[in-house]
Amino acid sequence: MTAGPSHAPSVSTRPPDPDPAAALPLGSREGLAPVAVTAEHAAVELVTAGDLPRAIRRIALPAVASNLLMTLFASVDAYWVGTRVGAAGLAAVSTAIFWVWMIVALAEMVGVGVTAVAARRHGERRRAEAARVVGDALLLALALGTLVAVVGAHLVPWLFAVMHTPPDVSALGRAYLATYLLGAPLLYGFFAVDAGFRAAGDTRTPFVLLAASVAVTLVLDPLLILGAWGLPRLGIAGAAVATVATRGAVFLMGVAILHRRGLVRVGRPRTATVAAICRVGLPTALTGSFFSIIYVLLTRTTTHFGTPALAALGLGHRVESWLYMMAVGFGAAAAAAVGQNLGAGRADRAARAGWVSVGYALLPAFVLAALMLAVPATLAGAFTRDAVVVAETARYLRIAAVAQLVLCVEVVLEGALGGAGDTVPPMLASTTLTASRLPLAAWSAARWGVVGIWWTITLTAVARAVAMALLWRSGRWRHRSL
């Protein structure tokens, strides 16, 4: 296995750049001092030549905090729905979320593509070109979000019919999902904005934006669900309205900040750039979409065990999402570090960045696994007062605790591979193992009931983590060109 050059680039002027202003001599405040995240934007030097663990921490921690804010909102959202709408409402959101995953997976095509391509340009010190990449991605995201909103709105009734959910669950789920789809363009735009900051190594600004969004949403959510302070009582649809409205507002704020910092330039979309973004991000989008489809079909098997089992599946994911979203944050840091180091010709540091990120993510994994084994009923009881749902969710959590120890390995290294632009092998490995859940769940459910489904989910998650570790260790991603 060959490694990239072991020396850091040492230059006093910029390399060729399509923007004449960007070819001027570097000044002392250009950002090449050891910086990972600043109030303006992240520089590259610390990531490509400085203390790598420190660089990973400084990029990852705001990203982790941002994702935990989203998880906090989702958990509070589940609390209000579960305690005010009831088990049917909880099951409705739990099943609708599988289609939301697909919506998000398509948005991640833009996010992953921008992170890989723009981070590579930042690593090459071509900031103006990185800004154009973000601008092209922004227009792509808005167009894709509009298409998803239009098509999805017409498919909502069918989306629930295919899952064979009970009538009351389907009615509530349709109201939630139809409302969520209306804001798809803004949600997609936020993914592009977020990726634009992260590609430059700036995870602090998205955190601040998201913190403001979540703070407002936590107040708006119960008001719209319950109807208070003169606001309409929207029930379960109120949860979707709160999410879309606040996320749309921070999208617009993010675009303004990107423009002010010179991190985005919007012009006529360039076919080559859009193609590069899609080429890198599409495998990840397909993986996420396929994952959603598998869960939709898995729901049909789970439905045979009643609404409590459906609610338990959703609540189990709510609890697991805390670790998952932390791992996504470390994966985002790994993607930026890998992309920038490959752009700087430092494949050796890129490889190390992946493993360092995994090491950090393992720390909360042990904590959550211990909690899921020790107090699963307490975790479940935070979202619902239904004793049957609590008992089934607790059983799910005890079994799923095994997978938490390796979940972060899968998520972080998939992010690192995405940062390298090597997204096809992870897609093939992940989709193959995820698809095996359908026959395995049907077989195990027939023999051991719903517990068989829970074990199927857990063991295939472990297999996916092993697959990602082997792909990263192989080093074939080092040779991807973007």
Lowest model confidence (mean pLDDT) among 154-158, 318-322, 363-367, 389-393: 318-322
Residue 174 vs residues 25, 357, 452: alpha-carbon distances, Å? 57, 39, 29
What average pLDDT does the structure give for the chain?
A: 79
Cα dihedral sign for 445, 447, 448, 449? Answer: positive
Amino acid 395: pLDDT: 92
Residue 154 pLDDT > 80, yes or no? yes
Helices 87-123 & 307-343, crossing angle to 10 degrees?
10
DSSP state of 30: S
The mean per-residue pLDDT over the stretch 106-121 comes to 83
Lowest model confidence (mean pLDDT) among 81-90, 282-291, 357-366, 388-397: 81-90
Amino acid 146: pLDDT: 93
Confidence band (pLDDT; 50, 70, 90) for 92? confident
The mean per-residue pLDDT over the stretch 370-376 comes to 92
pLDDT 10s digits, 422-469: 878 888 898 899 889 989 998 998 889 889 999 999 999 999 999 999
Residue 347 pLDDT > 50, yes or no? yes
d(CA 32, CA 30): 6
Amino acid 217: pLDDT: 77
> Do residues 254 and 194 make contact, with C-beta atoms less than 8 angstroms apart?
yes
Give the count of beta carbons closer than 10 Å to the beta carbon of residue 172. 26
Helices 424-435 & 271-303, crossing angle to 10 degrees?
10
389: its two tokens: 């749902």
Which among 167-181, 235-249, 304-318, 369-383 has the top mean pLDDT? 369-383
Amino acid 375: pLDDT: 92
Residue 83 pLDDT > 90, yes or no? no
Amino acid 466: pLDDT: 93
Cα dihedral sign for 134, 414, 335, 104? Answer: positive
> Do residues 412 and 465 make contact, with C-beta atoms less than 8 angstroms apart?
no
Confidence band (pLDDT; 50, 70, 90) for 58? confident
Residue 126 pLDDT > 80, yes or no? yes
Amino acid 82: pLDDT: 66
Lowest model confidence (mean pLDDT) among 14-28, 181-195, 300-314, 431-445: 14-28
Residue 16 pLDDT > 80, yes or no? no
Residue 33 pLDDT > 80, yes or no? no
d(CA 252, CA 238): 22
Termini Cα distance of the chain: 21
Amino acid 463: pLDDT: 93
Amino acid at the residue 129: E
Amino acid 263: pLDDT: 86
> Do residues 350 and 363 make contact, with C-beta atoms less than 8 angstroms apart?
no
Give residue 109's Cα distance to chain centre: 11
Helices 127-161 & 167-182, crossing angle to 10 degrees?
150
Confidence band (pLDDT; 50, 70, 90) for 22? very low
What percent of the chain has pLDDT above 70? Answer: 87
Amino acid 113: pLDDT: 84
Residue with tokens 């920038």: 340
Give the count of beta carbons closer than 10 Å to the beta carbon of residue 350. 30
Confidence band (pLDDT; 50, 70, 90) for 35? very low
Measured CA angle at 16 (ends 11, 19), to 5 deg: 120
Residue 38 pLDDT > 70, yes or no? no
The mean per-residue pLDDT over the stretch 256-283 comes to 87
Give residue 413's Cα distance to chain centre: 13
Residue 412 pLDDT > 80, yes or no? yes
